[in-house]
Structure 1
Amino acid sequence: ITCNKPFSGKRSSFCDWRDYILKCLLVTSNLLFTVLGLVTLVVGLWGLINKESFAQEKISGIGTDPMLLFTFLGFILALLSLMGCVGALRENMCLLRNFSAVVLVLVVAQVLAVVVLYSLQGQIEDYLHSGMLAAMVRYQDDLDLRFITDEIQTGLQCCGADTYRDWGINVYFNCSAPGVQACGVPPSCCIDPLENGTVWNSQCGVGAQKLDEFSAQSVIFLGGCMGSISRWIEQHSGVIVTVVIILLGVQILTMFITAHLLLKIRWSRAQHAVYLQSLQ
C-alpha cells in the first residue's frame, strides 16, 4: 500500500496507519472466525453422517438432533466471516455493506432474545424441563443426547429432571422393562461411578429407583437437574451477563470498524475520481 502520494493514481484506501491496523484487525478476526465456523460445520456434518441421520427411517427426527445446530451455526458463522474477510481484504463495498447489515440484524436479534429470555423465564423453564424429559426418553437412541445428559448430571451432580425416579420415563429404565437396567438410572447419576477404580461401572445405578431416598443418597445424586441448572445460573449470573456484554460489544465494535472502512473507501474513490478528472 502506497501512502505518500494520495493523488498518484494508486487506489489505496488506507494511507493512515490507524486505518491500516483496523483493516488488518477486521481481516484477521474474520479469518479466524471463518476457520472456527468451518470446523463447527464439519463437526456437525460428521455427527449427522456418522449417526446416519439422513437415512429415511431417521430423517423425521433430524430437527431435534443437536448436530443440526452445530451445522447451522457453523455454516452461518463461516459464510458471514468469509464475507467480512474478503470484503475488507478486497475493499469490496458491497460485501462490507452486506456484512455490516447481517451483523446489525444479529445484534438486534440477540438483544431481543435476551429480553425474551428474561421476560419469559417461566416458559423457558417449562421448555427446558420438556427438553430434559425428551432427552431422557431417547437416552439410549441418540449418542449426542446421551453425552449431553451425562455431562449435565455429572457436572451438576444431579439425576433426572426433578428426581431420580424420573428415569422411569425411559423404556429401558422403567421398572416394567425386562432387562437388567429395569428400575435403574444411568451411571452418570452415581456418586462414584468408578467405585474407587479406573473403569466406569455401567451397573452402578441398577435398581436405584427401588431404593428410598435415605438408602439411595449414598449411591446416587437425589436432586433433579432442573433445580441444579437454576442454581447454577443464579450463581454464575454475573459471569453470564459479562460474557453477553462482551460478545455484543465485539459485534458492535465490528460494525463501527466496518462503517469506518466503508467511509474511507468511499472517500478514497471520490479522491481518485477527482484525480482522474484533473488529468483530462
Structure 2
Amino acid sequence: MRQYLPVKKFEWPWSRRDNGQNEFSPLIPKSGAAKVEDEELGHVDNEYQTGTPSNQDHNSPTRIQPHYSYSLMDYFLKYFLFLCNLVFTVLGLVVLGLGIWGLSSKESFAQEKIGTIGTDPMLILLTLGFLLTLLCLTGCVGALRENCCLLKMFSVIVLVLITIQVLFAIVAYTVQDQIEGYLRSGMLAAMVGYQDDLDLRFITDEIQLGLQCCGADTYRDWEVNLYYNCSAPGVLACGVPATCCVDPLENGTVWNSQCGVGAQLMDEFTAQSVIFLGGCLGGISRWIKQHEGLIGTVGVVVVGVQILAVFITTRLLENIHRHKAHA
C-alpha cells in the first residue's frame, strides 16, 4: 500500500542544493542591465572610498576670472578731466572767434592786405585759439569715450608744452638783456604803425595808459612815427598820442585827443605837467619787479595744472587697460 501513496520527500536545509544559475552569484556572469548597474555602483563605491572625483585626472579645475569695475575715484577723475577740457575748449573757441572777428573787421583777408597778415596781432589770437581748442577737444573726447589713442595724444602734447614752457622760462631768465632789446624793437615797430593798424594802436594805448608811460625809452621816441614826426605837415607834428597825457580828459568827461600836440617841442620840466616823460620799457621792468611773486605763482599754477592733467590722463589710461583685460 505504501507504494501507491504519493510521498513527498522533505528536504532539509543543509541538504538543499541549488544547481540553477543564480544571477546574484558572483561566479556567474551577469547580463544586461544588471551588469551595467553593478559596474556603475562599483565605480561610485570606488570614488567614495578613494575620496576623489572620477574626472579629476582628466579635467583641471576652472578658474573664475575676477571682474574689474570702476571705483568712485575713477569716475571722478574721468569726468573731472572731461569738464576741465570742456571749459578750456569753450575758452579756445572764444579766443578763436575773437581772432577771426579781428581779422575780418580789418579786412585782413583782402587781396591788398593778405601780404601783411603775418604781422597782424590778431593772427596770434587765431593761432592760440585754434591750438587750444584742438588740444582740449582731444582730451575732452578721449576722456568721455575712453579712447586710448586720443588720451595718449593729449598727454604727449601736454608734456611737450610743459617742456617748452620750462625751457622758455630758463632762457628768458638767462638772456634778460637781449629780451629788453627785442621789446624795444617791438615797441618802436608798434609806434611806427600806430596810425595804420588798429590793433597796434589799441595795444600801445593800453600799455601807455596802464603803465603811465610814453614811448619806448622817452616821449621823444614818437618822432619815429610818420604823423608825429616834426617834419610832418599835419597838426600832429611834434606831438604824442593822447594816451601819453597826464590828464587826457577835459573836465573828467570829454576825451581831449589834442592834449599831446607839440609835446616834443617842450623841455622836460614843462612837459612833465602835460605828459608822462618815462618810457614804457622802464615801466614794464618796474611792473615785473613789483609783481614777481604773482608772476611766479601764476606760472607754477599753470604748469601744475598741466602736470595734474597728465597724471589724471595716465591714471585713466591704466584703468581703461585694466578694465579691458578683465572684461
Give 1 or 2 for the bigger CA radius of gyration. Answer: 2
Matched, 1:22 2:77: yes
SS for the counterpart of 2:75 is helix
Equivalence for 1:230: 285
Q: 1:95 to 1:44 in 2, by over 3 A?
A: same
Please give the alpha-carbon distance, in whole angstroms, between the structure 2 residues aligned to 1:98 and 1:196: 58
1:48 aligns with 2:103: yes
Q: Is 1:207 matched with 2:259?
A: no
Alignment of 1:73 with 2:128, yes or no, is: yes
Shift, 1:197, TM fit: 2.9
Instruction: Name segments (4+ residues, structure 1) moved above 3 Å.
Output: none
Aligned match for 2:213, one of 139, 149, 158 = 158
Deviation of residue 54 (structure 1)? 1.7
Shift of 1:65: 1.1
* Bigger proportion of residues as helix: 1
Aligned residues of 2:214 and 2:280 also touching (Cα < 8 A): yes
> How many correspondences in the alignment?
262
Q: Does 1:176 align with 2:231?
A: yes
- Indicate the residue corresponding to 2:113 in structure 1: 58
Match of 1:197 among 241, 252, 255: 252
The 2-side partners of 1:149 and 1:105 are apart by: 32
Match of 1:266 in 2: 321
1:175 and 1:233 mapped to 2: Cα distance? 34
The 1-side partners of 2:219 and 2:116 are apart by 26
Please list every run of 5 or more consecutive structure 1 residues that lacks an aligned counterpart in the other structure.
Answer: 1-5, 8-12, 273-280
Which one scores higher on RCO, CA 8 angstroms, separation ≥ 6?
Answer: 1
| Rounded Cα–Cα distance in structure 2 between residues aligned with 1:53 and 1:236 | 36
Q: Secondary structure at the match of 2:177?
A: helix
8 Å contact kept, 2:82–2:141: yes
2:152 is aligned to: 97
Q: TM-score, normalised by structure 2?
A: 0.79
Shift of 1:14: 6.2
Q: Which residues of 2 match residues 118-137 of structure 1 at below 5 A?
A: 118-137=173-192
Paired letter, 2:180: E
Q: Is the 8 A contact 2:268 2:277 kept in 1?
A: yes
Q: Residue type matched to 1:136 in 2?
A: M
Structure 1, residues 164-186: CA drift from partner, whole Å, max 9, x if none? 01001000000010111000000
Query: Aligned in 2, Cα 1:18/1:47: closer, same or farther, shift over 3 Å?
Result: same
Give the drift of 1:195: 2.5
Note the C-alpha offset of 1:199. Answer: 1.5
Question: Structure 2 CA distance, aligned partners of 1:141 and 1:268?
Answer: 60
SS of structure 2 residue aligned to 1:174:
coil
Normalized against structure 1, the TM-score is what?
Answer: 0.92
